[in-house]
Amino acid sequence: MFDDNAVKKETGKAKQPRQSFAVRGTLAMVIIVLFFLISSFASAGGGKKVLKPSPRDKCTVCGMFVAKYPDWVASITFRDGSVAFFDGPKDLFKYYHDLRKYNPTKKISDILSLQVSDYYALEPIDAIKAYYVIGSDVYGPMGRELIPFSAEADAAEFLKDHKGNRIVTFRDITPEVLKALQ
């Protein structure tokens, strides 16, 4: 019989029970799964991954080089990893509302995220959650533009300071609203 006290006298430590192979294997699998989950969230940025257009990327709607207007960049990321860049929110919405025309191989259900640039912070924000000012005295690369904000209070302040007509949300932006900006 094995004497734990003898081990303790020789080494100064009590004998530790051995973990079974199954326990060690399960622990290793948990660590691996956690690693992949954490790295997936880090790389995806929880949908906030900042994508920058290359100097060759053109707006799919108007053909302008998008990188020339970094403060206005908007994008649609698809589930397959492809990205469509735009020189402003107005063209993003034109593309979104007429996806069949601009990209017949895609459907709305293929879209992973839509991003626009917050006018004040100059950072990408979720286009679906943004507030947009219509009819202000501020113009984008293609003229009259939807001016996006992450906070409704910022949109209200901008509306007042820049003679905007109204604040709208994603659901309010229809093809008719876009046509009125032409």
Tens of pLDDT, residues 51-95: 789 999 999 999 999 999 999 999 999 999 999 999 999 999 999
Residue 133 main-chain phi, psi, to 5 deg: -100, 130
Cβ atoms 135, 105 nearer than 8 A: no
Does residue 60 sit in the same domain as residue 36? Answer: no
**Residue-wise pLDDT tens digits, 40-54:** 333 343 445 557 899
Q: Do residues 86 and 154 share a domain?
A: yes
Do 57 and 121 fall within a single domain?
A: yes
Write the CB contacts of 139 (distance below 8 Å, at least 6 apart in sequence): 145
Same domain, 41 and 70: no
Whether residues 22 and 71 share a domain: the answer is no
How many structural domains is the chain composed of?
A: 2
**What is the tens place of the pLDDT at every residue in 125-144?**
999 999 999 999 999 999 99
36 lies in the same domain as 69 = no
Same domain, 60 and 148: yes
CA 147 to CA 137: how far, in whole Å?
A: 10
Output the six-digit token pair for 155. Answer: 């949109």
| Domain membership of residue 128 as a residue range | 51-180
Same domain, 34 and 64: no
Q: Do 147 and 174 fall into the same domain?
A: yes
